[in-house]
Structure 1
Amino acid sequence: MSDAAQPTAAEVRAAAEAVKTALDRHLAAVERRSGEDDPAVYEAFNNLAAAAEVYDELLYDRYDEVTPFEIPGGDDSLPPYAGPEEPHAISVLIRRDYAVSEPQRLLAQAERVEAAEYESAGLDDEAAATVPGALTILFGEFEPDEIATRHKEFGLTEGDSTLWVTAAEEAAEPGEWLEAPFEQLDPQHVVCRFDVSAVFDQDEDAESDDELDDDIVELDGDDDLEPLDADR
């Protein structure tokens, strides 16, 4: 980088002050946390991550120095929020993945619904004979949240899920986005995002296993252990 493009010392100092401010706000949000998925904590985390990234870049450009900070999932994290300050509309985007782990259970449940609700309407009584037909019946009969709660009854196994809340200046016109509902997502308008995945549990289990291994190594390496006194 040329000298003309280098940030000034004042700019680096200002970026450092921004990190301090963001750090204080993150701690305050954590202290006021209203629940495990408090959006205020999520927003403060993103702001802190953004401020730290700016400071890291300016510090390197000016002084050829780096920070010890590493924000988890930085490559996949959302950019800082740049949507309307007072949005008048929101969109909620949800994706839930399932594995069809018990097809026969799925088919049986669809047959029950079909027998109770669909035959009187004169619909195809063979719709529940295939997995796609059974899925159409069940998702047409039950709300997605109810299926998420009762997925085992329907022969489904939960996979990853994610929920994104995006902000807009005004609500879309009726029917405006129905043909392509997920194509107009602006990452900078995402207010908050909540992910659920078994991989998070696996990471925690791996950390626990590592701690256990460390304890075992320490015990195995002690050659001066004395036998227990039976009188104690």
Structure 2
Amino acid sequence: MSDAAQPTAAEVRAAAEAVKTALDRHLAAVERRTGEDDPAVYEAFNELAAAAEVYDELLYDRYDEVTPFEIPGAEDSLPPYEGPEEPNALSVLIRRDYAVAEPQRLLAQAQRVEAADEENGGAGISGTVHGALGILFGEFEADEIASRHKEFGLEEGDSTLWVLAADEPADAGEWLEAPFDQADPQRVVCRFDVSAVFDELEDGDEDLEDDIEDGIEDVIEDDDLEPLDADR
């Protein structure tokens, strides 16, 4: 970027003031929250995210400096809930990722199951990884595999659980051909995510706090400003 195209110091200062104003509005919206999915809080969050992004960009363009926090944009969060206020049914969608860390352990566990099954004994389908996975996931509930994954030679990756509200229970067999096509984000009542990324961010917080000014430290550590993640 040329010097002529750089933002002025006044523009950077104005952007910083806009962030402060957005922070105050967000806190006020949180204090007046009328429910878990209050649209005023969602709107204030997005305004704060937009103001922080503008300030971050101007600060970098003018001073080649960055902020120590990042607010996820609207594309990284769920839209406002627009499902029924009193759901008559719900769907629970779960995704868990695993890496096959120890194939031999996986095969050995599948062979034990196969050997104990008189009908499948000697079929030999446990001799391949995909065959072993089919045996184990057919024998054990998904939650049991999650709790015993190391025994099966698996390594946990990211996981997420979405609870979606519905007007009425689905008819039997209605969605089996495409079970995840109707996962409408606007009907998500709540979601729970597990990722190693979160652990890495927490581990980096102490190092970050040693290097930043006290005023910024207070912003990062304020419980009311939980969306501000120190990942830079």
Instruction: Confirm or deny a common fold (TM above 0.5).
Output: yes
- C-alpha spacing 1:89/1:21, structure 2 compared with 1 (3 Å): farther
1:98 alignment counterpart? 98
For normalisation by structure 1, the TM-score amounts to 0.65
Count of matched residue pairs: 174
What is residue 220 of structure 1 aligned with on the other side? Answer: none
> Are the aligned partners of 2:49 and 2:72 in contact in 1 as well (CA < 8 Å)?
no
Partner of 2:151: 153
1:53 aligns with 2:46: yes
Supply the distance in 1 between the matched residues of 2:71 and 2:84 (Cα, whole angstroms).
26
The one-letter code matched in structure 2 to 1:192 is C
RMSD (Å) for aligned C-alpha atoms? 3.2
The structure with the largest alpha-carbon Rg is 1
Contact 2:114/2:120 (<8 A) preserved: no
Displacement of 1:49 in angstroms is: 2.6
Query: Paired residue for 2:16?
Result: none
- Name structure 2 gaps, 5 residues minimum: 1-24, 51-68, 214-232
Which whole-Å CA distance do the structure 2 matches of 1:97 and 1:70 have between them? 26
Residue in structure 1 matching 2:192, options 191, 194, 198: 194
Is 1:168 matched up with 2:166?
yes
Give the Cα–Cα distance (whole angstroms) in 1 for the partners of residues 101 and 141 of structure 2.
20
Kindly provide the CA deviation profile for residues 66-99 of structure 1, in whole angstroms up to 9, marking residues without a partner as x.
Answer: xxx9744533100000001111000000000000
Who is 2:82 aligned against? 82
- 1:23 has 2:16 as partner: no
| 1:125 alignment partner in structure 2 | 123
Q: Structure 1 residues 56 and 210 mapped into 2: Cα distance closer, same or farther (>3 Å)?
A: closer
Q: Deviations over 1:153-209 (max 9, x none)?
A: 000000000000000100111000000000111111111111000000111112222
Runs of 4+ in structure 1 displaced over 6 angstroms?
A: 54-57
